[in-house]
């Protein structure tokens, strides 16, 4: 029940939420025990409440209902009511509304803040002169002290405004960093999924041009291209499903067991690949297994692009603490190196580093090596 009432309260407009406190202050102003608690500025003689007194109380209290929506109008009306309260000598408890209006004004006035402060100061000087002209006995130090008090109320509201602004800026920075990290992650996933398959399809298609005299070989090559294309579409559809907010937990995260399928597709693209796996992989796929898959995928993609036809060895070793990956490509490139953005290796280093691991990509005179060490605990 309390949760339901809180939800209804939060859904109310600002005016609806501020009206009850305004009415509470209005009612308190008629409580006899609070008669002596009103603000006394100018030291004019007290006057008993009359019809005009009721108007003055309402003028000070009711505008508080719009103190967030129209803070300047609220402050102006409450100030006029306070001035009338002091000039006529009612000295009601409703005078406390001035402090509330000043705090709210300092917090919510958006435009012409300096002009508002100057206008209030001029109005206060005029009130002090008018009180003195009506026979007030307040000394100058009393007027100055009261001015400092109301200025402190405005300053408190300004401090609240500044605090909210700083917090909003911090939340915006966090949101920006989160969006940037998410865009980077999506770019890395798209690169890993698209680059490998498209590279394999390009290599297979190039090879098909030289098999026109071998119908059976051409048919096998074109079938491999079709299989790779279907795999690319399936992986892209899976990635889009993951991006869908209504998508459930990801059940198709590549695991180490899928590396063999990756190796087989690379072999069909014309790359001789030797695959060795040592140890027992974890029965429950985790971030470490996905990272292993991406490391092998990127290394084989680079082998296809830069050393098509050269012998490549993939070794994956499991133990209780980490998974190590070593992909070695032998021999010089048989085709001109394909241009690359470097995004793949950079993204892999970031991915591995997030799990507390290490990735090294090292060229050799007769080939290229990729070493990765991925802690299992870092992915849990």
pLDDT in tens, 312-337: 999 999 888 889 999 998 865 444 44
Query: Where does 89-139 have alpha helices with state H?
Result: 97-108, 113-133
Does residue 293 sit in the same domain as residue 372?
A: yes
Per-residue model confidence as pLDDT tens digits over 294-313? 888 888 888 887 887 888 99
CATH number at residue 229: 3.30.565.10
> Using one digit for the tens of pLDDT, what is the confidence trace for 103-152?
999 999 988 899 999 999 999 999 999 998 888 888 899 999 999 999 99
**Domain boundary, last residue among 110, 138, 166:** 138
Asked if 107 and 196 sit in the same domain, the reply is no
Q: Closest Cα to residue 291, out of 251, 328, 255, 242?
A: 255
Distance CA 308, CA 334 (A): 6
Same domain, yes or no: 123 and 20: yes
Are 191 and 280 contained in the same domain?
A: yes
Same domain, 238 and 338: yes
Domain boundary among 138, 157, 186: 138
- What is the per-residue burial (b if ≥16 Cβ within 10 Å, else e) of 344-377? bbebbbebbeebebebebeeeeebbbbbbbbbbe
The pLDDT assigned to 102 comes to 93
Taking the alpha carbons at both ends of the chain, their separation in whole angstroms is 40
Same domain, 342 and 200: yes
Model confidence band, residue 59 (pLDDT cutoffs 50, 70, 90): very high
Q: Could you tell me if 79 and 98 are in contact, meaning their C-beta atoms sit under 8 angstroms apart?
A: yes
- Report the percent of the chain where pLDDT is more than 70: 82
Boundary residue ending a domain (138, 166, 184): 138
Are 288 and 240 contained in the same domain?
yes
pLDDT at 56: 92
Kindly report the length of the chain. Answer: 380
Indicate whether 338 and 197 sit together in one domain.
Answer: yes
Three-state DSSP state, 318: strand
Residue 79 inside a domain? The answer is yes
pTM: 0.56
The strand pair at 312-318 and 322-330 is best described as antiparallel
Sheet order of strands, 358-364 included:
273-278, 312-318, 322-330, 367-375, 358-364
Q: Are residues 195 and 321 in the same domain?
A: yes
SS3 313: strand
Asked whether residue 166 is domain-assigned, the answer is no
Q: What is the pLDDT of residue 239?
A: 65
pLDDT in tens, 172-222: 888 788 778 777 777 777 776 667 677 777 777 776 776 667 777 777 777
Backbone angles phi, psi at 168, to 5 degrees: -65, -40
Distance CA 219, CA 234 (A): 22
Residue 265 maps to a domain: yes
Give the pair of three-digit tokens for residue 56: 């003055």
Question: Domain of 366?
Answer: 174-379
111: exposed, middle or buried (Cβ count in 10 Å: 0-12, 13-18, 19+): exposed
pLDDT at 250 over 70: no
Whether 132 and 181 share a structural domain: no
Q: What is the pLDDT of residue 80?
A: 94
Angle between helices 140-208 and 343-354 in degrees, nearest 10:
120
Are 297 and 192 spatial neighbours (Cβ–Cβ below 8 Å)? yes
Distance of CA 200 to the CA centre of its chain: 38
Question: Is residue 158 domain-resident?
Answer: no
DSSP, collapsed to helix, strand or coil, labels residue 273 as strand
How many domains, the chain? 2
In a domain, 288, yes or no: yes
Q: How many CB atoms lie within 10 A of CB 33?
A: 8
Residue 316 lies in a domain: yes
Q: CA-to-CA distance for 143 and 125, rounded, in angstroms?
A: 9
Tell me how far CA of residue 367 lies from CA of 225, 295, 330, 361, in angstroms.
27, 17, 5, 11
Examine the pLDDT at 227 and tell me if it is beyond 90.
Answer: no
Same-domain check for residues 205 and 348:
yes
Name every residue whose Cβ is closer than 8 Å to that of residue 83 and which is 6 or more positions away in sequence: 123, 127, 130
Among 1-5, 107-111, 340-344, 346-350, the least confident range: 340-344
Pair 85, 222 in one domain: no
Residue 113 lies in a domain: yes
In a domain, 153, yes or no: no
d(CA 44, CA 86): 8
DSSP code per residue over 36-79: GGS---S-PPP----HHHHHHHHHHHGGGGGTTTSHHHHHHHHH
Mean pLDDT over all residues of the chain?
81
């Amino acid at each position: 029940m309390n949760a339901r009432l809180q939800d209804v309260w939060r859904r109310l407009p600002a005016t609806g939420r501020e009206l009850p406190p305004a009415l509470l202050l209005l009612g308190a102003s008629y409580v006899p025990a609070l008669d002596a608690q009103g603000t006394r500025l100018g030291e004019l003689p007290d006057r008993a409440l009359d019809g005009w007194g009721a108007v003055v109380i309402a003028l000070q209290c009711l505008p508080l209902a719009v103190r967030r929506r129209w803070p300047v109008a609220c402050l102006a009306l409450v100030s006029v009511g306070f001035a009338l309260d002091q000039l006529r000598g009612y000295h009601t408890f409703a005078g406390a509304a001035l402090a509330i209006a000043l705090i709210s004004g300092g917090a919510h006035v958006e435009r012409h803040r300096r002009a508002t402060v100057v206008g209030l100061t001029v109005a206060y000087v005029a009130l002090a002169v008018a009180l003195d002209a009506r026979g007030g006995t307040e000394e100058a130090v009393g007027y100055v002290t009261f001015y400092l008090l109301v200025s402190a109320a405005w300053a408190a509201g300004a401090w609240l405004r500044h605090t909210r602004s700083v917090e909003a800026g911090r939340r915006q920075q966090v949101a920006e960093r989160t969006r940037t990290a998410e865009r980077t992650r999506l770019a890395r996933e798209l690169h890993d999924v698209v680059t490998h398959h498209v590279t394999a399809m390009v290599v297979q298609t190039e090879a098909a041009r030289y098999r026109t005299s071998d119908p059976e070989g051409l048919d096998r090559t074109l079938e491999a291209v079709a299989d790779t294309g279907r795999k690319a579409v399936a992986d892209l559809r899976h990635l889009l499903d993951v991006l869908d907010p209504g998508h459930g937990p990801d059940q198709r995260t590549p695991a180490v067991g899928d590396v063999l399928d990756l190796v087989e597709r690379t072999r069909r693209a014309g790359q001789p690949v030797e695959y060795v796996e040592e140890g027992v992989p974890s029965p429950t796929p985790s971030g470490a297994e996905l990272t292993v898959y991406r490391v092998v995928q990127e290394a084989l993609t680079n082998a296809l692009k830069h050393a098509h036809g050269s012998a490549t060895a993939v070794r994956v070793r499991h133990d209780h603490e980490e998974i190590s990956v070593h992909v070695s490509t032998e021999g010089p490139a048989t085709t001109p190196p394909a241009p690359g953005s470097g995004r793949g290796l950079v993204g892999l280093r970031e991915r591995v580093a997030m799990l507390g691991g290490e990735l090294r990509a090292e060229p050799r005179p007769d080939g290229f090596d990729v070493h990765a060490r991925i802690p299992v605990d870092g992915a849990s």
